[in-house]
Chain A
Amino acid sequence: MTALRTSTAPNTSGVPRKRRPRGVRTSVIAWIFLAPFAIVFLTYTAIPALAAIGFSLTDLQGRDLRNPFNVDFIAIDNYVRLFADARFIRDIGNTLLFVVVGVPLTMALGFALALALNSGIRRLRGVFRTIFFAPVVTNIVAIALIWQYAFNNDGTVNNVLANLGFAGPNWLDDTNTAMPIVILLGIWRNFGTAMLLFLAGLQAVPEDVQEAAALDGAGWWSRLWHITLPLLLPTILLISVLLTVFYLQVFDEPYLLTDGGPLGSTESVALYTYKQFGFGNYGISSAASVVTLVLVAVVSVVQFRLLRPRT
């Protein structure tokens, strides 16, 4: 074995050690391989994440762009202002509403479709899956504009309602209906991912357990509740965390469909962050983004706590 190791590292520069048989040379080579990722990671993820926290403690403005270090340290003033801003509190509420309504509905839909596609039907299975997955890959700007066209006051949706004898609301301009439509778009574009992950999870549920339970007289619901769901628990947790993290950052749907309106009823934290950025209030914007960062970090930590014993 030792002979083999020396022959794989014919260089003399690296000191061969027992613990890391490939030595310093391999480490250098490995980091050369990793360099492109490392550079992009440092400039566009690691440093910005730290900088966001730093910016949030300063009065950074749009005019300081070329001199981001020439700013005043104002400690937690931005956070104080943020949480005193009724708009921000409202937007946190909107974002949580998006999560609380969107996550269960997206998961229920994805799970129902995965069960249906996994129930032994053979014909058209691939076709259905393709159709249900298509929204996931569809461009959100395009789709949002189509929804605007359809949910317009005199659009195709209200056209149908009118033919049925109902007067539909001005969906996207009505504080009662705008949020449901925005959430619906989020669900439309994400249930395919949930379905796909549930399908993968369902196919790992052993068939013989199911059949043994069926022979013992367990009905469909009973097997679903006592066998399938417990075995799917890791998948359920995973999807719920993925969707929660995704919906906590929701931006595209409200920005494109309503721009946060009417009367701010659909404005999310991400949209607030973006708008403050647009006003040049980089300090406030960074503070708002740190709030998102903390929320996402908390969810991720909870995820690892829940998933670790199983994996």
Chain B
Amino acid sequence: MTATIERLPDVASETHIAAGPRPRRVPVVLLYVALALFAVATLLPFFWVISGSLRSLDEIRADPGAWLPTAPTLDNFARLFSKENFAGYLFNSVAVAIMVVLGNILAAAAAGYALGKLHFAGKKLAFAAVMASLMVPFTAVFVPQFVVTVNLGLIDTLAGIALPSLALPISIFIMRQYASSIPDELLEAARMDGAGEFRLFFTIFLPLSGPAVATVTIMSFLNSWNNFIWPLIVAQSSSTYTLPVGLAATSQASANVTDYGLVLAGAIVVMLPVLVLFLFLQRYFVQGIAASGLK
């Protein structure tokens, strides 16, 4: 048989086994043209934001719909950090993200280990809780969440923004799946040597779970960085705004002056970190989204 089984070093890890030549109605060239056109359409907003962020206020006022800057300037970015408080928003976003990522690694690794590797009373209940919290819509719980946060004295604080995201169900689900895949023999050997569960967790499970920790890190960072409605509710003064909330506020404040250059420069600051991470660590994003979608 001439069936060519190729394993290409794809950007993501999964390998695609291409079948041998089959009759196809759609010529490959047309397929590429269609994909390319659609790719251009998908990327249009990214083009608009780069082009628009480089246009000065005067230029946008004179010709709002132009596709390219006539005299590109970085002035909008400078204003974000001099006139607007984007340095503060950036700091807040980073601080919340650090809390959320660390919380998720610890909480999810521990819970994942318990759910994937231990047999205990209430295991089914605990797993049901994880699955239930994957499904409970945020809209359905934010009013009581707000009341809880107010009464914990955490309203308008970064901790109050981070707290509900410290143990995301998706992180626990990812760690639990990974823990289940680790052979029991590895742990049994250490158990026979008298090691307790805490030692097993720290000396055997955690060192082995690098890939899952990476996925959890990426997913919880993505969640924290892009989170909008909860920070919008909790942050009540600009000193606790995260980047998305600060950007929305900047946009509302500049609505009557149509200072789109400033807003678009802010949009770039907000989306760039995640897009850069995505380009380099796409594998983990794909795994994470597939895990959250596939269950």
Interface residues of A (CB under 8 A from B): 4, 7-8, 10, 20-22, 24, 26-27, 29-31, 33-41, 43-49, 51-52, 55, 65-66, 68, 113, 116-122, 124-143, 145-150, 152, 154-160, 162, 188, 193, 196-197, 200, 203, 207, 210-211, 214, 219-220, 238-239, 242, 245, 248-249, 251-252, 255-256, 269-270, 273-274, 277, 282, 285-286, 289-290, 292-293, 296-297, 300
Expressed in whole angstroms, the minimum distance between the Cβ of A203 and any Cβ of chain B is 7
A254, B248: Cα distance in complex, Å: 13
B28 touching A48, Cβ below 8 Å? no
B228 touching A130, Cβ below 8 Å? no
3 tightest A-B contacts by CB? A159-B65, A126-B11, A48-B144
- What total of chain B residues lie within 8 Å of the partner, measured CB to CB? 115
A149, B111: Cα distance in complex, Å: 44
| Contact A134:B42 (CB < 8 A) given known A210-B19, A249-B139 | yes
A113, B32: Cα distance in complex, Å: 11
| Contact A22:B34 (CB < 8 A) given known A33-B201, A193-B289 | no
B294 touching A238, Cβ below 8 Å? yes
A277 touching B142, Cβ below 8 Å? yes
Checking A55, A119, A131, A140 against B42 with a beta-carbon cut-off of 8 angstroms, the contacting residue is A131
Checking B20, B35, B143 against A286 with a beta-carbon cut-off of 8 angstroms, the contacting residue is B143
A51 touching B286, Cβ below 8 Å? no
B101-130 at interface with A (beta carbon < 8 Å): 103, 106-108, 110-111, 113-115, 118-123, 126, 129-130
Residues of B within 8 A of A24 (CB): 121
Chain A residues touching B, majority SS? helix
Residues of B within 8 A of A155 (CB): 64-65
A252, B25: Cα distance in complex, Å: 41
Checking B142, B194, B267, B293 against A193 with a beta-carbon cut-off of 8 angstroms, the contacting residue is B293
Residues of B within 8 A of A22 (CB): 118-120
Checking B106, B135, B247, B286 against A196 with a beta-carbon cut-off of 8 angstroms, the contacting residue is B286
A296 touching B135, Cβ below 8 Å? yes
Checking B103, B122, B198, B282 against A36 with a beta-carbon cut-off of 8 angstroms, the contacting residue is B103
B139 touching A273, Cβ below 8 Å? yes
Expressed in whole angstroms, the minimum distance between the Cβ of B20 and any Cβ of chain A is 8
A43 touching B148, Cβ below 8 Å? yes
Residues of B within 8 A of A270 (CB): 139
Expressed in whole angstroms, the minimum distance between the Cβ of A185 and any Cβ of chain B is 9
Residues of B within 8 A of A34 (CB): 110-111, 114-115, 126
A122 touching B6, Cβ below 8 Å? yes
A127, B12: Cα distance in complex, Å: 10
| Contact A45:B132 (CB < 8 A) given known A130-B279, A130-B282, A296-B140 | yes
Q: Give 17 A-B pairs besides A8-B188, A142-B244, A274-B229 with Cβ atoms closer than 8 angstroms.
A: A37-B110, A41-B129, A45-B136, A49-B140, A52-B144, A116-B35, A136-B289, A141-B267, A142-B268, A145-B263, A145-B267, A158-B65, A160-B67, A251-B229, A296-B135, A296-B137, A300-B135
Q: Which residue of chain B has the shortest Cβ distance to A194 in the bound complex? A: B293
